[in-house]
Amino acid sequence: MSLRKVCNELRPLLQTLLRSRAIETQCYVVSAAQTGKHNEQQSSYGHSMVVDPWGAVIAQCSERVDMCFAELDLSYVYQLRELQPIFAQRRSDLYSLHVNEEDDESTPLMFAEYPIAAKSIFHRSALSFAFVTLKPIRNGHVLVCPKRICNHFTDLTDAETADLFIVARKVQKMIETFHNVHSSTICIQDGKKTGQAVKHVHMHIVPQRESDSANFPDNFCHNLEAHDKDPQVQPRSHEEMSAEAALYKEAMKHI
């Protein structure tokens, strides 16, 4: 295929590409172009143009030698950037610039009004953290929650929601591998009626073993509430929790 034929087929796309570039950058686009025949196989299209930040062609030359003028109003650029905040209007379910970044591991974090010691936290991301619990319902029971204190699940931002579930997926995989199980109960108690004891959104991840009864997941919330209120269940020591968290922290490196 000759270069001339290729250029001819691309001509209808040039204006669309330039307008798209102006909109996505929210800037004026000044597109210079050559015109004339170079040889038997190549000729230039011409049609220099100026496109405003909204994608409108405000000046354009023909395919001949020509001249055009356009007024570039920078105040219009700023106005459009306020009216068209591209990042604020981005669909979080389709596009995301968020990544799981780790923070300073030496600082404790708050679980509602309760401080969680740094040594009890075995994984941190930009917006979430995972830690061992004070009174686990069974071995391997851990919690994942957002760093920002939120009472209700619907109070989370899209970024916090996505991060919470990404971290929970990693933690579940680690727990199942560590305890050699293939099932887990994952639960969010959201509100007083569900038995939520701490007013901070959190996700329970509990490994489920082959010996568990079939109705274990159905009775989980009831059993968890009864377990927390049982006076015979004593809180674990900081040393015990730190030792467990250290094992999980090392295991997370292989996930």
* Positions at the binding site for substrate: 189, 195-198, 204
Quick check: helix, strand or coil at residue 14? Answer: helix
**Residue ranges for the binding site?**
189, 195-198, 204
Task: Calculate Rg over the CA atoms of the chain.
Answer: 29
Catalytic residue among 38, 202, 222, 238: 202
Nearest to 239 by CA among 80, 132, 85: 132
53: nearest Cα among 37, 75, 29, 36: 29
Q: Sheet containing 57-60: which strands, arranged edge to edge?
A: 29-31, 49-51, 57-60
| 227 is annotated as an active-site residue | no
Q: Cα separation of 208 and 189, whole Å?
A: 18
In the numeric block, which tokens belong to residue 160?
């916090």
Nearest CA to 46 out of 55, 57, 37, 58 is that of 37
Catalytic residue set: 202
